Chains A and B, each alone.
Chain A
Amino acid sequence: MRPLVYLDHAATTAVHPKVLEVMLPYFSQKYGNPSSIYTLAQEARKAVDDSRETVADILGCRPNEIVFTSGGTEADNAAIKGAAFSTKQTGNHIITSSIEHHAVLHTCQFLERFGFEVTYLPVDEYGLVNVDDLARAITDKTILITIMLANNEVGTIEPVPEIARVAKERAKALGTNIIVHTDAVQGAGALDLNVNRLGVDMLSLSSHKFYGPKGVGILYLRRGTPFMPQQSGGAQERHRRAGTENTAGIVGTAVALKLIVEDMEHNRQHCQRLRDRFIEGITAKITRAHLNGHPTLRLPNNVNFSFDYVEGESILLNLDFAGVAASSGSACTSASLEPSHVLTAMGIDAQRAHGSLRLTVGSDNTEEEIDYVLSILPGIIDKLRAMSPLAEPNK
């Protein structure tokens, strides 16, 4: 049995050994509730506060602008619903893109049931939002713009600083206020997360995407941003997110973020070298393979190809037999019967969307692993094409 070649880092990552180490004492030794008064609890309180400072330093904000959540999905929900419901008196219009993660898209669709109107901006063939489209979509009713920092499927990096600047300029001219949120879940470890350079009011992160634990997210909430908490209960997180703090998870998250940011330049170069090796290898070895996403405005770890005449799940099963873990935009790999909404929004036809393969590399991958996948993938595609009624002979 070959060792696992894990190429699905955009789905989740393994917890870094150092992260696990700092988390462990908070399960059975320093288990106090941070809201309690005794020494045991105050150890936990200090750990949460220190973690908040670490995260704030990295994002370039104040510690009290950080809200810990149960994950990226909750951070997106809290940001979008929290901003929308607290500003409904001033406007009901939200702008997002058609390629957002479902945590954003489905939250916007949910808000449509409560009288909000949502503009889903189109993207170009590379998955890029057009800033002029965005500027044109803004009205005096626009209260919120939420555009992802980078796309999880195709890795396209969106012009968030420009989007934020245009939004603020238009709002100023209209005499309104527009809150700008970005789902930065895929950007950690690859892109600048400084909230002032990005120009955003709210930003979401998910710990398990950067070698932290599952079940912890970060919501940055700029001071003064209208916000209605989406969870009722205790006074935790300055009344913005009720519920006993996940001390171990928060401690692990802060350390994971620190490690990934400290190592960012090295990790970026490492991933990009592997990514480019993959892209060049696939392009050279497999005919009718189409790179999805932008050639350069692309996350350093994302490879996404469509292969004509074959279906994604069949590729994934064959890769799994060979010990390789990857992902696809095929309908078969989701709960719905529709192929990827991201690829569809990019104008990629359904058949090609079904035949997509996403390989996302991480700091733990090696060139040997990439070469191994490049040695087996052409055979897998050939085998599937040989049984496909869509394939034209000799192509």
Chain B
Amino acid sequence: MDTQKMVRLSVMVALATVLSILENQLPIPRPLWLKLGLANIMTLLALIMYDIRAAMTVACIRSLLAGIFGSLPMLAFSFPAAITSSFTMGLLYRILGKRFSIIGLSISGAVIHNLTQLLIAYLILNLSYSSILTLSSFLILTALGGGIITGLIARYIIRIIPELC
């Protein structure tokens, strides 16, 4: 790995960690357990700038750091979701290329992220089927909203700093 790539990825991990901790304090009216997923902006940028490995590295290290500095018990939820969502986005980007815009990628990542966490909640709590149905419908809609917002921000960043890609 060349030095520039290493430095860039480190900065992205740092920014993603800060975003992920900071967005819990944002005064946005929302249910407590919902997040916009702002840290995913950095995963998206790493994917567009480099590749799936860079994206997964940023997502996983960010998740671990945010767990250590935020709430450690929630790592059981955030870490697997970071792996599956970054992997999905990377895979879709590799297969579909430009046919999916960064917003499509962001939405896919958000949906997979939420459904992974639902699966973990199912494993821990043995959720009832009606709960799974209610939650999955709700989580798909919120992932759509969050995915569009983070995708738009990532696109805006690429637009104002085109040298990134």
A binds B: no
Q: Residues of A at under 8 Å CB distance from B?
A: none
Q: Residues of B at under 8 Å CB distance from A?
A: none
